[in-house]
Amino acid sequence: MTSQPTLSKAGNGPEGPGEPGEPGGPGAGLQAGLKNRHLSMIAIGGVIGAGLFVGSSSGIATAGPGILLSYALVGTMVVLVMRMLGEMSAANPTSGSFSAHADRALGRWAGFSIGWLYWFFWVVVLAIEATAGAVILESWVPAVPQWGWALIVMLVLTATNLVSVGSYGEFEFWFAGIKVVAIGAFIVIGGLAVFGVLPGADTESAGIGNLTDHGGFLPNGPGAILTGILLVVFSFMGSEIATLAAAESENPQRAVTKSTNSVIWRIGVFYLGSILVVVTLLPWDSKAIQKDGSYVAALDSLGIPNAGEIMKFIVLTSVLSCLNSGLYTASRMAFSLGQRGDAPNAFARTTGRGVPMTAILASVVFGFVAVFFNYEFPDSVFLFLVNSSGAVALFVWLVICCSQLRMRKIIERESPEKLVVRMWLYPYLTYATIALIVFVLGYMLTDTEHDGRETVLLSLLVAAVVVGISLVMEKMRRGKARLQEGPKAPEAS
């Protein structure tokens, strides 16, 4: 049997931010280089992915105005998961976040498996976002080929992350700031147009009536809400980044508490608010939504000039933000795995500036390989990578829920004063969230139209391989430990 996990094992491996560490070698360990304004914007920007801008149109076409319910259900699930993660991370801030919590609460196999799956997810995202950004940049400067732009973007953001955690925070502050201002302006302008008080705008097609006038609020039936969930759930991935970044701040507990408490309004405003504006500015079945994208179509409907180019710039900013955070997140997860002995020791080494250089470069190399596959084998190798990482978000959320069920008891037993963030209605809401995530995964298995079944099956296959590797490694470790202990002395009669 495994021993009962304790909070004394918590932390950033053998070291915390700013402390010299082993097995990190001569480096200074992770350092508190993120300022409060960095963390605030990382927390806000983390919930605004490029998927919100480019993926919402398919959800609207599928569920009509009812897509608001899809976003509300997924948003509620994310709020609950983030509350659980906030409870554990406020009690024990660590760069490994949920992977480190799973390690202590569920066993080393769980921390190893979910940590590597999360790393895999983000390095694939690097390739997706680098390609998306390159497409936009090539449309502006066609003299540079698409692969050239992808290379430039990856190199610039790699250099940013290698300088210091503060440079990552500074870039993310401005990237996320642009996204926040853009969506805020969109909601305000769109809201004025819906009520017919926007000067000089053509608002003939706008109005609250768009929610019910074109086949009703659920024109394709209640089942479309579930299909809509499948289309929007993955655009919420990234909410957890703030808990990883908090470990490199001056006051990790305060940073985690603040980001956890604000997740409700962030999702409510940026997701539900902006989508509500889209489906009230235009009928849900408008061909422009599918042709141009939901946000571009909404801006065009108001007669705003160059709406497409404006949205291209905002999407590019979101792509760069996602790339920047993806590289940071993947490297910190690799760093944490290295510290716990679940990755090469070199991953846990840091420079004098507190940067895990090897972990960053390893993540970038895999990202470059994935970019190559995207250009050379888009319909085979790269498609497999994308689909096999597609359900990782749901796996991560499920592991967070299961970890919190056990970690809550450990914290209450050993350090109840650290429960500065508490999960609501524990354990009932935790069980309800687990049931909802399992239901979504099960429903995806029935979805053949949007590749839901293939995504879940391939992701389960990869997860099974990673779990198998973790169990084999654990067995080898135990065998090695027994050999080192040597034969037990015979008991005296």
Three-class HEC string of 374-409: HHHCCCCHHHHHHHHHCCHHHHHHHHHHHHHHHHHH
Q: Taking a C-beta distance cutoff of 8 angstroms, is the pair 122, 363 a contact?
A: yes
What would the mean pLDDT of 399-420 be, rounded to a whole number?
93
Is the pLDDT confidence value at 18 over 60? Answer: no
Task: Give the bridge partners for 249, in sequence order.
Answer: 34
Q: Taking a C-beta distance cutoff of 8 angstroms, is the pair 338, 374 a contact?
A: no
Band of pLDDT at residue 27, cut at 50, 70 and 90: low
Residue 213: which residues within 8 A CB-CB, separation 6 or more? 283
Is the pLDDT confidence value at 486 over 80? Answer: no
What would the mean pLDDT of 316-324 be, rounded to a whole number?
87
What is the tens place of the pLDDT at every residue in 352-367? 888 899 999 999 998 8
Q: Taking a C-beta distance cutoff of 8 angstroms, is the pair 321, 172 a contact?
A: yes
Is the pLDDT confidence value at 110 over 90? Answer: yes
3 state SS of 34? strand
249 φψ region: left (φ > 0), alpha (ψ -120 to 50), beta (else): beta
> In 141-269, where does DSSP find H-type helix?
146-163, 165-194, 223-232, 241-245, 252-261, 263-267
Residue 249 has phi, psi (to 5 degrees) of -115, 170
Q: In the prediction, which pLDDT does 330 show?
A: 92
DSSP 402-445: HHHHHHHHHHHHH-GGG-SS--TTTTHHHHHHHHHHHHHHHHHT
- Measured from the Cβ of residue 14, the count of other Cβ atoms closer than 10 Å reads 15
267 vs 6: CA distance, rounded Å? 34
- Measured from the Cβ of residue 248, the count of other Cβ atoms closer than 10 Å reads 28
Q: How far is CA 348 from CA 36, 114, 333, 365, 474, in A?
A: 25, 18, 10, 17, 20
Q: In the prediction, which pLDDT does 28 show?
A: 55
DSSP 254-271: HHHHHHHHTHHHHHIIII
Q: In the prediction, which pLDDT does 356 show?
A: 92
Position 44, amino acid: I
451 vs 461: CA distance, rounded Å? 15
Q: Taking a C-beta distance cutoff of 8 angstroms, is the pair 67, 59 a contact?
A: yes
440 vs 421: CA distance, rounded Å? 27
Residue 43: which residues within 8 A CB-CB, separation 6 or more? 242, 258, 259, 262, 263, 266
Which domains can be identified in the chain, with CATH numbers?
Answer: 32-474 (1.20.1740.10)
206 vs 284: CA distance, rounded Å? 11
> In 46-107, where does DSSP find H-type helix?
50-63, 67-91, 97-105
The one-character DSSP state at 455 is H
The one-character DSSP state at 206 is -
Is the pLDDT confidence value at 202 over 80? Answer: no
Q: In the prediction, which pLDDT does 17 show?
A: 41
What would the mean pLDDT of 86-95 be, rounded to a whole number?
89
Q: In the prediction, which pLDDT does 46 show?
A: 66
Find the range with the poorest average confidence among 48-52, 151-155, 176-180, 337-341.
48-52
Q: Taking a C-beta distance cutoff of 8 angstroms, is the pair 80, 399 a contact?
A: no
Q: In the prediction, which pLDDT does 338 show?
A: 93
User: Nearest 5 degrees, angle CA 62-CA 65-CA 69?
Assistant: 90
Q: In the prediction, which pLDDT does 490 show?
A: 60
Band of pLDDT at residue 413, cut at 50, 70 and 90: very high
What is the tens place of the pLDDT at every residue in 446-469? 888 878 889 999 999 999 999 999
Band of pLDDT at residue 438, cut at 50, 70 and 90: very high
435 vs 401: CA distance, rounded Å? 10
Query: What does the mean pLDDT of the chain come to?
Result: 85
Band of pLDDT at residue 439, cut at 50, 70 and 90: very high
What would the mean pLDDT of 285-297 be, rounded to a whole number?
88
